[in-house]
A and B are shown apart, each in its own frame.
Chain A
């Protein structure tokens, strides 16, 4: 009965020892592999990523110089708000004008504006208008 117990103790120690050796081999082996891979891939990664690093620096520099990204955003937003406000004011003016026209029961003219403009008249019409002017000049004489 005692022999069986002793033999059992040796068997367990042997198994434990074998496991530790195996673990040691795996660990050492993986460390060797990791070192080799790192040695090979690191330069390649550095070379491949160098353009992205360049762009990153270029883009982030102005923002970092401004110091606050929020300022730039708020500037863009406020500029749009100003435009919207101006458009709203114009709409209010147009609405007022339309309300006035509706109130007075009038029709909307096709005339674009009231600015003085060059009048394209036929010779006959010019003469007709000149005759009217002459009549009025006589009237004022």
Chain B
């Protein structure tokens, strides 16, 4: 008879940020960066062998920096044989990241807990991509399931039908239509125009406008996360960038707006495809219930911008945003994990 206690965990291993929600009440997130000291001096300075999260960015000059996920999946996951060494390295780094994330959320808990986790994966993650996630969790979680990220968002909101979820992450934007069943491949679209794409476009535009300024993609990314908008109204936005070592103010209102808008057309094209290929009787239901989630959904004015595009291309559309965009995926995964009956977990365990 099983007497150990169970800790349910919802995990969103993101390209830029990893989020965890547990039913011990802890919810937290960290940047998906892992760093290893470059030499003995930096190792002595940090006093530990691995550094995680924002500390990696702050000390990146003294660290070998890794971001194990790209476009929502493990690096080289689609072609492991071509880059075997890097693929294995990415897997080990991802394991360390997951271990740290869980450790952050379960510090102080008894040691004999059973860790059950549901990990979100991009909509159209391949079988290989999902298997990699299982491998990463192996030895860290006692039981694990992989579920489509936008589906976990919908599950967390208790919306199973007549809705279209758009989960905007750093690596991917996942679209998924809900119609009362588990979404199939036809119900989901993944585009790679997401947060990282905005960073790249923003970087290019600033370089074109202010060639004399010195900056890195990390500086741009941080600035974007604090100021992202697509609205045509509002205040001017200035960024301090060094020119010949001297911080100089630059007006980047136009550049930032253009960069943020750059993900919208492809996103709306995806919405159009999912709606147009759906049963005509139920298309209105989808149009009226487009839900934005993920860190990218925090761009100011994005809802209105998508609605405007939908009006032009589909006649009309109603877009809303979840209350906690960053935690929506992990919250849903946690809820799903908690709802999953023990016998279902046993089925998976017996399959090992």
A97 touches B160 (CB 8 A): no
**CB of A105, distance to nearest CB on chain B (Å):** 7
Partner of B27, one of A107, A113, A133, A139: A107
Residues of chain B contacted by A113 (CB below 8 angstroms):
5
Q: Are A104 and B28 in contact (CB under 8 A)?
A: yes
Contact residues on B (Cβ < 8 Å of other chain), bracket? 35 or more
Question: What 1/0 flags go to A102-125 for Cβ under 8 Å of B?
Answer: 001111110101111001010001
For residue B113, which residues in chain A have a CB less than 8 angstroms away from its CB? 114
Q: Are A104 and B348 in contact (CB under 8 A)?
A: no
Interface 0/1 of A23-44, CB less than 8 Å to B: 0000000000000000000000
Within A26-73, the residues touching B (CB, 8 Å) are none
Q: Which residues of B contact A115 (CB under 8 A)?
A: 5-6
* Category for how many chain A residues contact B: 20 to 34
Residues of B332-348 at the interface with A, using a CB-CB cut-off of 8 Å, are: 336, 338-342, 344, 347-348
Which of A106, A114, A128 has a CB less than 8 Å from the CB of B28? A106
B232 within 8 A of A: no
- The answer to whether the Cβ of B352 comes within 8 Å of any Cβ in the partner chain is yes
Q: Measured between alpha carbons, how far is A129 from B145 in the docked complex, in Å? A: 11
The CA-CA distance from A114 to B25 in the complex, in Å, is 11
Which secondary structure characterizes the binding site on chain A? helix
Q: Are B342 and A116 in contact (CB under 8 A)?
A: yes
Q: How far is the CB of A134 from chain B (nearest CB, A)?
A: 9
Given contacts A105-B28, A137-B348, contact A131 B182 (CB under 8 A): yes
Measured CA separation A131–B347 after assembly (Å): 12
The reply to whether the CB of A100 lies closer than 8 angstroms to some CB of chain B is: yes
Q: Does A101 contact B (CB under 8 A)?
A: yes
Once A121-B341, A128-B182, A135-B182 are accepted as A-B contacts, the answer to whether A106 and B145 lie under 8 Å apart by CB is no
Contacts of A6 in B (CB 8 A): none
Contact indicator B127/A139 (Cβ below 8 Å): yes
Chain B residues within 8 Å of A140, by CB: 134, 348, 351-352
- CB within 8 Å of A: which residues of B? 2, 5-8, 23-28, 104, 107-108, 113, 127, 130-131, 134, 145-147, 160, 181-182, 336, 338-342, 344, 347-348, 351-352
What are 8 A-B pairs with beta-carbon distances under 8 A?
Answer: A97-B108, A104-B104, A108-B25, A128-B181, A129-B344, A133-B348, A137-B348, A141-B351
